[in-house]
Amino acid sequence: MSKTRIAIGCDHAGYEFKDAIKKHLLDKGYEVTDHGTHGPDSVDYPDFVHPVAKDIIDNHAAFGILICGSGNGVAITANKYEDIRCGLAWNVEVAKLVKQHNNANILAMPARFITADEGKNLVNAYLEETFEGGRHQRRVNKMNPNSSYYC
């Protein structure tokens, strides 16, 4: 049986946070593809978002995790991809809802506003949830303005 693969990426604000999350995932038995960054030198977060999003689209990973200072830059960048739904979470309830209601395939987290331990809890909550479908599927279908579902 193959293990679930998760792609992970971050900018300089989140590299220590990413390393803690990566270790946590490996300890839980997940496979992790780490797209960097790996140090404190200033980098451009889109350079680390694109490979994570492409891993999801190309079915090289089941889920993605992105981290930057606020979580917003990585989420905005990831959501430029048609088949990506990246949800920003800062507490466990929101982490659950981005999966339950939005069927998010990438979780974004704000390294400057939560601790690595809180991040581990968010990751656990997100990965343990399932998409509820139903009325939420109808809404997810309308997210793409090119979709025939869009009003």
Closest listed residue to residue 102, CA positions, set 56, 63, 138, 49:
138
C-alpha span between 70 and 131 (Å, rounded)? 25
Starting at the edge strand that comes first in sequence, how are the strands of the sheet with 63-68 ordered?
31-34, 5-10, 63-68, 106-110, 86-88
Rounded to the nearest angstrom, the gap between the alpha carbon of residue 100 and the centroid of all alpha carbons in its chain is: 14
C-alpha span between 147 and 91 (Å, rounded)? 31
Residue 68 falls in the annotated catalytic set: yes
**Which listed residue (60, 101, 136, 151) is catalytic?**
101
H/E element, 52: helix 46-57
Whole-number CA gyration radius for the chain: 15
**Which listed residue (68, 86, 136, 151) is catalytic?**
68
Residues catalogued as catalytic: 68, 101
